[in-house]
Amino acid sequence: MIAQVLWVALILLIASSILPGQYRRHRFLIGAAGWFFFAIHWAAQPMHYIEIGDYANVVLVLAVSLFCLLVCHAMIRSYRHYESAEKILLTLTTASALGGAFYYPFAEIEVLNTFLIAVVAEQVVYILQSIKIPADLIGWDQIGINGYKITIILACTAIESIAIFLGLIFCVRASVKRTAIAFAVSVPVIYILNLARNVFVVVAYGYQWFGENSFQIAHHVIAKIGSGIALFVIAYAVLLTLPELLDAIDRLFAILRVYVRGEEET
């Protein structure tokens, strides 16, 4: 059911992004529907993260769901009051459509999902063996080390972060050179750092660096903090390269602050 909701959201967001100019006003209404279904998808995620004890992501997905509802409301208002419609909402919708079009096939199409996970698992094992740490690939998605076993899942591939940056980079108009630089300082860097993150978690868990809670501490605390810092630095580099993106983000939050406060923008 949730998978169907996700595809409906993606189709609506893409439709809102590609409709021709004469249907510009209706792009806001279609986009609002897409953001609403997107909010439903994220609101259904907390139970999964509660089950695995990842409470930071519980807060994150609930915040994302609320953000989607705010954007939905803003787009409905832009549809109703088209003379004061906010173009930045369409830019954000395009960014989400681009990111979703890249991410969701890997999330929902089994052959792509399996391929990406298998590639990452193989690369992690290769790195470990290259630095003389005995690790073996068990099956296609599991790594064995020192008698312990770790399963690589889609979240271990950094595909979500890559999709987000792809959407943001290609949703704004900029020169080919600056777009290429923004891509180079984000997507390959995220992928490489994620491999390093996986190597750290596997070794920390396999050798029980932090006792019986080694996986939770390594994965849910240290790796998550490290990933957050790395993404912040990468985002800063992208924004320096694409100041148009910073202007768009600033305008978007100015709009959303109006809805949160219940005020009329002046």
pLDDT digit string (tens) for 214-241?
Answer: 999 999 899 999 999 999 999 999 999 9
Task: Identify the domain boundary among 41, 67, 83.
Answer: 83
> Based on the domain organization, do 49 and 149 belong to the same domain?
no
**Structural domains in the chain (count):** 2
> Based on the domain organization, do 121 and 220 belong to the same domain?
yes
What is the per-residue pLDDT across 83-105, written as a single tens digit (0 to 9) for each? 655 788 888 899 999 998 999 88
Which residues have C-beta within 8 Å of that of residue 37, sequence separation ≥ 6? 5, 6, 8, 9, 12
Measure the CA–CA gap between 100 and 10, rounded to whole angstroms: 6
Question: Which pLDDT score is estimated for 266?
Answer: 39
> Based on the domain organization, do 145 and 186 belong to the same domain?
yes
Measure the CA–CA gap between 229 and 153, rounded to whole angstroms: 22
Angle between helices 187-206 and 176-184 (to 10 degrees): 0
pLDDT exceeds cutoff 70 at 263: no
Q: Are 201 and 150 in contact (CB under 8 A)?
A: yes
Across 40-49, 65-74, 170-179, 192-201, the highest mean pLDDT is recorded for 192-201
pLDDT exceeds cutoff 50 at 264: no
pLDDT exceeds cutoff 70 at 261: no
Give φ, ψ of 137 to 5 degrees.
-85, 120
Question: Which pLDDT score is estimated for 235?
Answer: 94
pLDDT exceeds cutoff 90 at 50: no
Task: Identify the domain boundary among 83, 115, 135.
Answer: 83
Radius of gyration of the chain (CA): 20
Measure the CA–CA gap between 95 and 166, rounded to whole angstroms: 8
Q: What is the pTM of this model?
A: 0.84
Which residues have C-beta within 8 Å of that of residue 199, sequence separation ≥ 6? 124, 127, 128
> Based on the domain organization, do 8 and 106 belong to the same domain?
no
Measure the CA–CA gap between 236 and 226, rounded to whole angstroms: 15
Question: Which pLDDT score is estimated for 249?
Answer: 84
Taking the CA atoms of residue 15, residue 21, residue 24 and residue 30 in that order, the dihedral angle to the nearest 10 degrees is -10
Residues marked as catalytic: 156, 197
> Based on the domain organization, do 175 and 59 belong to the same domain?
no
In which domain, by residue range, is 8 found? 1-83
> Based on the domain organization, do 24 and 90 belong to the same domain?
no
